[in-house]
Amino acid sequence: MHELSGVPARKTSLGRRSFMGLCAGTAALSWANASGMPRECLSPVAIRTGYDSLEADGYQALKGRKVGLIANPTSVDRHLRHIADRLHAAPGVNLKAIFGPEHGFRGSAQAGHSEAKSIDPRTGIPVYDMYTLSGPKLDALLRAADIDLLVFDIQDIGARFYTYIWSMFDALAACARCGVAFMVLDRPNPITGLPASGPTLDPAFSSFVGRVPLLLRHGMTIGELARLFNSQYVPQHAGHAAELHVIPMTGWRRDCYQDETDLVWVPPSPNMPNVTTALAYPGTCLFEGTTFSVGRGTASPFLTIGAPNLQATRWVESLNNANLPGCLFREDWFTPGSDTAKEQLCHGLQIAITDRKAFDPLLTSVAMLQTVIKISNSPIWRKSGSTFDILAGSSIIRRQLSQGMSAPDIVATWKADEATFNMQRHPFLMY
């Protein structure tokens, strides 16, 4: 299995011919020209997702298996048909169970919530809630579902604290313990696979928004992450690696944003409407550890930040005077539709990304925090900072801000973490 899983394969009853055929064309794709700079993506770049390859092969890898599916509204083919419906209708495919992550299988729940166990009215297949489940509880759920192959097909957005990758991690470990094979149908990292940046997670701050050490912006696809998890961390949770199969994409380059491809954007969660929001999210989501709203329920979540009692004029002026790369700021009044400051009039700012190749979401957000701390008349941290620390992966950034360190100096302290992680991830990259 070498090129599929990144670890020696355990005994498998899946046909190697099926998987080898699906994995044709997985040689690493060069993303740099002679100068070492990323090439500009031609638009649209034609992408064949892992699901497209599975379908083109007639679902041979699923034949004779009792199949479970981890899915949400992003689990669609290029015609926007949901793959649960496609697998249910496919001859010879026995789809027995569906599992929903945060927001649920059909995506109706808001942040931090999921959908209750149900029967899918379209297929008649049971839908289980797996959000936040791990360890013995998740093992019991898999055994109750009576499956021998679990398929994962969900669009990630490239940030450590986006929870779908941790549902995948927990499911991968549970499959290893329960003797269930695990298959990932790969999809693009929508904010490119080039920069892996930010601080790493301190294991003491492990949670469902970060189980194991990753950089905040990991720069990997879900298939690549599964390979890394299975090799480096699943044995610690299960005693051995899982039987992992990754069905790769073809056509994707590491320098491509998803809106430069021929894939239609389906919001992965209720407040992730487009790629621009996804690009800002690895930085601005840190504000969820503060008393500020991140604009949930507005037209521009995670690009709109503010609070009811904030006087934001100086904040905006200071940030624009800082000449942060690739962005500008404008003063904004808004009323969040959910979460912090729900239905309260907030004063704040909106980020305009003017050059996304130059824009650094982490530098920008740390600069925003540094600046607002100076002008705020009240404490900005939720729960004395513990929520922020969980998101950031340690208490270091909050302490650095409290000590008055500048944003560039804080970002510079991550260089060792970035170098270490980029070496760690390299063997597991597929494109």
Q: Which residue has the tokens 């005693």?
A: 239
Structural domain includes residue 411: no
Which region, left, alpha or beta, applies to residue 406 given φ > 0 means left and ψ of -120 to 50 means alpha? beta
Judge if 189 and 102 occupy the same domain: yes
Q: How many domains does the chain have?
A: 2
Predicted local confidence at residue 112, as pLDDT: 87
Structural domain includes residue 416: no
Q: Which of 281, 290, 297, 284 is nearest to 338 (CA)?
A: 297
Judge if 222 and 298 occupy the same domain: no
Cis peptide before 190 (omega within 30 of 0): no
Which domain-ending residue is among 269, 298, 315?
269
Predicted local confidence at residue 24, as pLDDT: 42
Judge if 232 and 308 occupy the same domain: no
Predicted local confidence at residue 10, as pLDDT: 37
Range of the domain at 83: 2-40+47-269
Buried b (16+ CB within 10 A) or exposed e, 266-279: ebbbbbbbebbbbb
Judge if 304 and 230 occupy the same domain: no
Judge if 250 and 328 occupy the same domain: no
Residue 135's contacts (CB-CB under 8 Å, 6 or more residues apart) are 170, 174
Which domain-ending residue is among 269, 304, 322?
269
Tokens (6 digits) for 48: 């064949």
Predicted local confidence at residue 403, as pLDDT: 97
Judge if 261 and 335 occupy the same domain: no
Amino acid at site 120: D
Judge if 282 and 265 occupy the same domain: no
Predicted local confidence at residue 109, as pLDDT: 86
Judge if 245 and 293 occupy the same domain: no
Judge if 222 and 185 occupy the same domain: yes
Pairing of strands 304-307, 346-353: antiparallel
Look up the CATH number of the domain holding residue 86.
Answer: 3.40.50.12170
Structural domain includes residue 421: no
- Tens-level pLDDT at each residue, the chain (431 residues): 333 333 333 333 455 444 444 544 333 333 333 333 344 545 699 999 999 999 999 999 999 999 999 999 999 999 999 999 999 999 999 999 999 999 999 888 888 888 888 999 999 999 999 999 999 999 999 999 999 999 999 999 999 999 999 999 999 999 999 999 999 999 999 999 997 999 999 999 999 999 999 999 999 999 999 999 999 999 999 999 999 999 999 999 999 999 999 999 999 999 999 999 999 999 999 999 999 999 999 999 999 999 999 999 999 999 999 999 999 999 999 999 988 999 999 999 999 999 999 999 999 999 999 999 999 988 899 999 999 999 999 999 999 999 999 999 999 999 999 999 999 999 999 99
Q: Which residue has the tokens 């800082």?
A: 322
Q: CB 351: neighbour CB atoms within 10 A?
A: 28
Which domain-ending residue is among 227, 244, 269?
269
Structural domain includes residue 408: no
Look up the CATH number of the domain holding residue 355.
Answer: 3.90.1150.140
Q: Which residues make beta-bridge pairs with 99?
A: 70, 128
